[in-house]
Structure 1
Amino acid sequence: MFIGRERELKSLNEVYSKAGFGMTIIYGRRRVGKSYLITEFIKDKKAIFYTATKVGSERNLEFFSKQVLDVLNPEYSDATFPSIESVLDILTKKLSESDEKIILVIDELPYWAEKDEALLSILQKYIDTKWLDKNLMLILCGSALSFMEKKVLSEKSPVFGRRDAQIKLEAFNYRDSALFVPDYSSEDKAICYGVTGGVAKYLSLFDPKKSLDDNIKRLFFNTNGYLFDETKNLLTQEFADVTLVNNVIEQVASGENALNIIASKVKEKDPTVLYSLEKLIDVGLVEKKKCITEEKNKKKTQYVLKDHMFKFWYEFIPKAISVIEMGQGELYYEKVVKPKLHEFMGSVFEEMCRYYTLEQGIQGAFGSFLTETGTWWGVEQLQDAEDKWYQQATDIDVVGISTIDKTAVIGECKFKNEKIDKGIYETLVGRARLISGKYNITKYLLFSLSGFTDWFNDIDKTNLVLITVDDMYK
């Protein structure tokens, strides 16, 4: 069953519908559903779908040739060709003989193009000299984000300026992820999103007829589970030195977010660790997070895991390997993991709340047109019981800002089995002064799994918005 991706399918169909040549670039991290999206798009159309592999340029040419001929001229599918031009000439001839639209897909393009530097230039030559008036749609797709951005999309690329559309396919947001488990409670939908990170492949493994607990136990805490070895499998595909990368991820997953601290923990030099972090950013596993009101302040940057599934895996699986291999993974989940799920969901829930805030804020739900959301962290000045001042590190979970009228909303998020009380609200109001010098705070948002105490029934809520997890799924 194909779920979501309506905007992406619409974009692909718009390019397909135009007269003459059209090209779309699709890129995104592994397992996010790029190939599945393309397969859904071409299912009722004439298409040549080739997936490149790490076998060198000559073998890719051989396999590509067979794929082209299987579609255009099956009786000659075993023929060999000296160059990609000779194969593309056959395609061009076929396009000239018929008005039928043909789609040419080269998936995992970097595997081929990295070993054949002329490939993109050859495609550019055919686009410019032979295909512009032909009924052809070209789709170039890849998982190596840095390659796709620097070699395919940048101004230095031979195919620059020739695309009609580009799609950076991201993981599903929390709301679309819920479509995979429609009968789950809002709490379980949120946790399902948390342990999969909204990655299409991982979501597709969840059996919506089974409980959340049963799915997590089957996929993570079983030696035969797909996600038991997934982090190692994915890192092996992307990195030569898996040991160093694994050590770096362990530190980031445990909450270390400064380069110098990570480097000291893994006992490597800063430049070595920085290289690994940049590669992890390239493949979509790590992100460099900035304080929303001080984005130019290089000291206020943090490396955090972008992939929630990786965070879940590194938090719970390494300590349980022996237990899982003895066949007691389900017991470990019940005794150790399940009681800590709400704690794990803390940062995931904050990200969900930021998405909700931006989504609603764009529509004017909070009284101003919000243009971005993020988080704030820094130091606040407080007074103790003896009126002495002291400094304390603090953060604001949700900050939504409008760069248009310099207004902002701020929020606090609690994914706990206890109701939010007045203390949390008063703390949030107190922290407003930390950013009120730059933005006028118009709303205070409180997000809660378990609702709110009766104290909120009797106060003025003109500038306060109370939001439950159920509200976020409406």
Structure 2
Amino acid sequence: MSLFVNRSEELEFLESEYSRDSSSLVVIYGRRRVGKTELVLRFASGKPSVYYLSQKLNLEHQVDDFLEKTTEQLGTYQPKVTKWDAALKFIVQQIEGKPVIIIDEVPYLIEGSSAAMSAFQAAWDLYLKDANVMLILLGSSIGMMENEVLGYRSPLYGRRNGQIKVEPLKFRHVRHFFPQKDAEEIVRIYGCLGGVPAYLNKFDQNLPFIDNVNKNILQRATFFYDEATFLLKEELREPTTYELILEAISRGKNRVSEIADETGIHVHNVPKYLRVLIGLGFLSREWPVTLKKSREIKTGSTYALSDNFMKFWYTYVFPTRSMLEINRGAIISQISSSYDHYLGHVFEEITKQHLIDLNAAGKTPFVFERIGRQWGKVPGKPKNENTYEIDLVAMNEGSKEILFVECKWQTLTGKNSRKVLRDLKDRSKFVQWHIGERKEYFAVVAKKIENKAELKENGAIAFDLEDISTDME
């Protein structure tokens, strides 16, 4: 059985819209498998409602298919109408109380007929907006939903009461899917699957992480085996080009010029592909968090895989697919031996999420406004040594307070943790932000820290996976 976790804010918003004494149009979108349909069905449970999963049909056949499916749910006859306004009016008239009409995968309607959204505009303006009804439009194609449904040129522009972009769950939610597993194992799962509920529901609670990978990802007939390819084919017209870009970034080619050299794509064309992948939630664009000027951000930007499953796939599976049938054991050994190193960046993201939660709860030394990675050049150093990196930096411009954070996916002893803190303080001197005016804080975060009390006594912030897990309870 699928587990439904979190989404309390989304459900609260939907309930508030339903309680209105007037009609409400809500648009819900997000990447595939993220739980949009589960969210809406959970909200609609116990309410007078109909649900329709759209098909790629022409306009007249769309209406016919909608009526066939929804009249079957209501146990009524199917009228002979060919327009959306008449069809929706008929369905509303068959429902007692305030009806909820859910239309899923709206992009399929748009692909079937370019006039679909104009038809919905007519239906809303002519009847639905005055009928005390709640209309919910869902879609997985983020670009199409943002442009064709929410965008300025959409016929529905200005008519919606609200929109929800459903994001993957955070690390703190993943434990609910695996109540018997310890925190370290949950980090391993999160590093592979991220916060996509449909993925998390596929892993076996009773299997160790590497056995779940072997059983569910590396076997040809499984759900996950072609999932990355399927996601690209569903969303994009040129999936091969995007595959090349994702593979290049997974190998550490994270600047536009490097991606162009690695893939053979002309350097002027690379940014448009990157923007699409960012819109889909597969990539993120990063720049040193202290930068504010747009020109500096543009030249200083790098790109990283932000979807944990896609990152895992393009790191471990995509490059070795030809070997899977020949020597799967070698691939499993490769994952087992390198995965702790791989989890370093995953743990940075988990730490960032935790600090944001602490900040919102007023449990940080100051209220920060920005948080992210920081890197830059070190003056006077040889070329191969002239850069520095800091895992996370959080800051408040008004109070000139700044927090430097070092994350380690390892166990730190007293000697090691003191060295980590010293190195962090040394690198913080290269950060050109309110020099001489700022108030500085330093944090060491690790899988386990054996001398947390000592670090705290010396003025540092220190927490480890045990503390993060405790705070989540």
Give the alignment's TM-score, normalised by structure 1.
0.90
Q: 2:19 aligns with which of 17, 20, 23?
A: 17
Q: Which amino acid aligns with 2:431?
A: I
Q: CA RMSD in A?
A: 2.4
Bigger shift: 312-321 or 115-124? Answer: 115-124
Q: Return the alpha-carbon distance in structure 1 between the equivalents of residues 358 and 82 of structure 2.
A: 56
Q: 2:336 aligns with which of 338, 348, 362?
A: 338
Map of 2:365 onto structure 1: 367
Matched, 1:259 2:256: yes
Q: Return the alpha-carbon distance in structure 2 between the equivalents of residues 61 and 278 of structure 1.
A: 34
Matched, 1:103 2:100: yes
Map of 1:349 onto structure 2: 347
Map of 1:164 onto structure 2: 161
* CA displacement, residues 61-117 of structure 1 (integer Å, 9 cap, x when unaligned): 3322212322345332xx55332233123135446xx4x121111111122124434
Map of 1:132 onto structure 2: 129
Post-superposition offset of 1:413:
0.6
Q: Which amino acid aligns with 2:463?
A: I
Post-superposition offset of 1:334:
4.3
Q: Return the alpha-carbon distance in structure 2 between the equivalents of residues 217 and 192 of structure 1.
A: 13
Matched, 1:196 2:193: yes
Any stretches of 5+ residues in structure 2 without a counterpart?
Answer: none
Bigger shift: 412-421 or 339-348? Answer: 412-421
| TM alignment of 1:26-37, pairs within 5 A | 26-37=28-39
* CA displacement, residues 280-325 of structure 1 (integer Å, 9 cap, x when unaligned): 1222111222221114221111111111111111111134324422
* SS, match of residue 74 in structure 1: coil
* SS, match of residue 278 in structure 1: helix
Q: Return the alpha-carbon distance in structure 2 between the equivalents of residues 267 and 425 of structure 1.
A: 42
| TM alignment of 1:23-422, pairs within 5 A | 23-72=25-74, 74-76=76-78, 80-94=80-94, 98=96, 100-295=97-292, 296=294, 297=296, 298-326=298-326, 328-329=327-328, 331-381=329-379, 392-417=386-411, 419=413, 420-422=416-418
* SS, match of residue 378 in structure 2: strand
Identical-pair percentage: 26
Q: Return the alpha-carbon distance in structure 2 between the equivalents of residues 261 and 57 of structure 1.
A: 45
Aligned length: 461
Q: Return the alpha-carbon distance in structure 1 between the equivalents of residues 271 and 459 of structure 2.
A: 43
Q: Return the alpha-carbon distance in structure 2 between the equivalents of residues 61 and 460 of structure 1.
A: 65
Q: Which amino acid aligns with 1:182?
A: P
- Whether the 8 Å CA contact 1:363–1:369 is kept in 2: the answer is no
Bigger shift: 193-202 or 273-282? Answer: 273-282
In structure 2, relative to structure 1, the CA distance for the partners of 1:197 and 1:129 (3 Å cut) is: same
- Whether the 8 Å CA contact 2:30–2:165 is kept in 1: the answer is yes
* SS, match of residue 299 in structure 2: coil
In structure 2, relative to structure 1, the CA distance for the partners of 1:426 and 1:130 (3 Å cut) is: same
Q: Return the alpha-carbon distance in structure 2 between the equivalents of residues 245 and 390 of structure 1.
A: 31
* SS, match of residue 288 in structure 1: strand
Q: Return the alpha-carbon distance in structure 2 between the equivalents of residues 318 and 52 of structure 1.
A: 32
In structure 2, relative to structure 1, the CA distance for the partners of 1:69 and 1:423 (3 Å cut) is: same
Bigger shift: 118-127 or 344-353? Answer: 118-127
Bigger shift: 112-121 or 361-370? Answer: 112-121
* SS, match of residue 265 in structure 2: coil
* CA displacement, residues 119-139 of structure 1 (integer Å, 9 cap, x when unaligned): 333333333342334231111
- Whether the 8 Å CA contact 2:284–2:305 is kept in 1: the answer is yes
Q: Return the alpha-carbon distance in structure 2 between the equivalents of residues 56 and 343 of structure 1.
A: 51
Q: Which amino acid aligns with 1:345?
A: L
In structure 2, relative to structure 1, the CA distance for the partners of 1:461 and 1:418 (3 Å cut) is: closer
Q: Which amino acid aligns with 1:321?
A: R
Post-superposition offset of 1:264:
1.4
* CA displacement, residues 212-249 of structure 1 (integer Å, 9 cap, x when unaligned): 22222211122233222211121121222222111111
Q: Return the alpha-carbon distance in structure 2 between the equivalents of residues 294 and 146 of structure 1.
A: 28
- Whether the 8 Å CA contact 1:381–1:389 is kept in 2: the answer is no
Q: Return the alpha-carbon distance in structure 1 between the equivalents of residues 56 and 14 of structure 2.
A: 27
Q: Which amino acid aligns with 1:172?
A: L
Q: Return the alpha-carbon distance in structure 2 between the equivalents of residues 302 and 80 of structure 1.
A: 56
* SS, match of residue 220 in structure 2: coil
- Whether the 8 Å CA contact 2:411–2:449 is kept in 1: the answer is no
Bigger shift: 337-346 or 49-58? Answer: 49-58
* CA displacement, residues 442-461 of structure 1 (integer Å, 9 cap, x when unaligned): 32111101324x5x665663
Q: Return the alpha-carbon distance in structure 2 between the equivalents of residues 458 and 3 of structure 1.
A: 38
In structure 2, relative to structure 1, the CA distance for the partners of 1:280 and 1:54 (3 Å cut) is: farther
In structure 2, relative to structure 1, the CA distance for the partners of 1:249 and 1:59 (3 Å cut) is: farther
Q: Return the alpha-carbon distance in structure 1 between the equivalents of residues 371 and 108 of structure 2.
A: 36
Q: 1:437 aligns with which of 433, 436, 445?
A: 433
Q: Return the alpha-carbon distance in structure 1 between the equivalents of residues 70 and 222 of structure 2.
A: 36
Any stretches of 5+ residues in structure 1 without a counterpart?
Answer: none
Matched, 1:469 2:465: yes
Q: Which amino acid aligns with 2:312?
A: F
In structure 2, relative to structure 1, the CA distance for the partners of 1:80 and 1:302 (3 Å cut) is: farther
Post-superposition offset of 1:164:
2.6
In structure 2, relative to structure 1, the CA distance for the partners of 1:371 and 1:335 (3 Å cut) is: same
